[in-house]
Amino acid sequence: MDIKITRAEKSKLQGLNLDNVPFGKFFTDHMLEADYENGEWKNIEIKPYQPLVIDPSSAVLHYGQAIFEGIKAYKDADGNAYIFRPFDNFHRFNISADRLEMPAVPEDLFIDGMKQLIAIDKAWIPAKADHSLYIRPFMFATDEMLGVRPSETYKFMILLSPTGPYYSAPMRIYVEEDYVRAVKGGIGYAKAAGNYASALKATTEAQEKGYDQVLWTDAQEHKYVQEIGTMNVMFIIGNKAVTPDLKAGTILNGVTRTTIITLLKDMGLTVEERQLSIDEIINAYKAGELKEVFGTGTAATVSPIKELRYRDFVMKFDIAQWKVMPSVKARLDDIRASRVTDKYGWMVQI
């Protein structure tokens, strides 16, 4: 794709230690920007990272038409750069766009634009273990008028951010049964900005109790677990891996979730995608059958959960004894770092 490129006069990378960067705080020298007007994408440009100027009446500020994705790029020992499963995120991005009545983003704009942007800022990819270049494509409505209707204009952008682990320590999770994240027929399966805004109060209250995130339950009975605030969730019960299914459309079809399911099956484990009640989880814990609980997500990657609380019942786990999560994480890390052959075709070279 032919993209106008304006390079930054000076890199912000000088003096920044990529071996010690928090998640989402620093951004690379360049960004991609494109506008949707009159039914077509135009003004496609890679330019120096800079603030936006938007009208106070911009539709996104009033009606919340905004979606995004999270993707990661890695560097191998020889300095080659790869993006992990970007086409899966591309397809999911347009599923989200369709649900929020937004235009589809073409593959060449999303994928080729991303590749060209990363190629320019390749030096920003950390080479340290558990570090990566986080890629944030997003789109929002830009009509300058008030009125509840789909916008006729939009802006699509891609930002890049070098990052370390999202969670630096095993997590403590609180099972939420008062607030609701998503309902059948809603937008739970879309990566919409509003999904995360609606989760903030429950998360804050959980953090005030000493927990990192909440595990959402279904809206009707508060009986079946769904996903954790920033990731999907996996339970090792006996010799099986169990994770909530996607049938109700209330949880995100995570790319890392799909990846881990594939790897677990290749390790010989039976994986069940189905409804999973909090009662079943508690009973498995009491019987000594609940072996491991961990989250999966682009930002979180594979993150162990050391404590799970439901009301006044607390389940604690000895992570040092775990076998499944460390093994599957090691397999994923080896693929991303090109230490083993990528037989799945997940890594897309820049």
- Average pLDDT of 170-192? 97
Q: What is the mean pLDDT of the chain?
A: 96
- Provide the residue ranges of all domains of the chain, joining segments of one domain with +: 4-164, 171-336
CA 153 to chain centre: 26
Residue 168, pLDDT > 80, answer no
Tell me how far apart the alpha carbons of residues 111 and 350 are, in angstroms, rounded to a whole number.
10
Tell me how far apart the alpha carbons of residues 63 and 51 are, in angstroms, rounded to a whole number.
22
| Structure tokens belonging to residue 55 | 């009208």
Tell me how far apart the alpha carbons of residues 72 and 11 are, in angstroms, rounded to a whole number.
21
pLDDT digits (tens, 9 = 90+) for 222-281: 999 999 988 999 999 999 999 999 999 999 999 999 999 999 999 999 999 999 999 999
Residue 1, pLDDT > 90, answer no
- Average pLDDT of 69-96? 97
What is residue 127's predicted lDDT score, i.e. its pLDDT?
A: 86
Matching CATH number, 171-336, of 3.30.70.1060, 3.20.10.10, 1.10.390.10, 2.102.10.10: 3.20.10.10
Per-residue DSSP letters for 260-317? HHHHHHHTT-EEEES--BHHHHHHHHHTT-EEEEEEEETTTEEEEEEEEEETTEEEE-
Residue 175, pLDDT > 80, answer yes
Tell me how far apart the alpha carbons of residues 314 and 54 are, in angstroms, rounded to a whole number.
47
Residue 167, pLDDT > 90, answer no
What is residue 93's predicted lDDT score, i.e. its pLDDT?
A: 98
What is residue 129's predicted lDDT score, i.e. its pLDDT?
A: 85
Q: Buried (b) or exposed (e) across 132-148, using 16+ Cβ within 10 A?
A: bbbbbbbbbbbbeeeee
| Fold of the 4-164 domain | D-amino Acid Aminotransferase; Chain A, domain 1 (3.30.470)
What is residue 327's predicted lDDT score, i.e. its pLDDT?
A: 98
DSSP secondary structure letter of residue 343: T
Q: In a 10 Å sphere around its CB, with 0-12 CB exposed, 13-18 middle and 19+ buried, how is residue 260 labelled?
A: buried
Strands 81-84 and 154-163: unpaired
- Average pLDDT of 45-54? 98
- Average pLDDT of 32-36? 98
User: Is 266:332 a contact under the CB 8 Å cutoff?
Assistant: no
Tell me how far apart the alpha carbons of residues 156 and 143 are, in angstroms, rounded to a whole number.
14
What is residue 166's predicted lDDT score, i.e. its pLDDT?
A: 83
- Average pLDDT of 75-79? 93
pLDDT digits (tens, 9 = 90+) for 108-165: 999 999 999 999 999 999 988 889 999 999 999 999 999 999 999 999 999 999 998 8
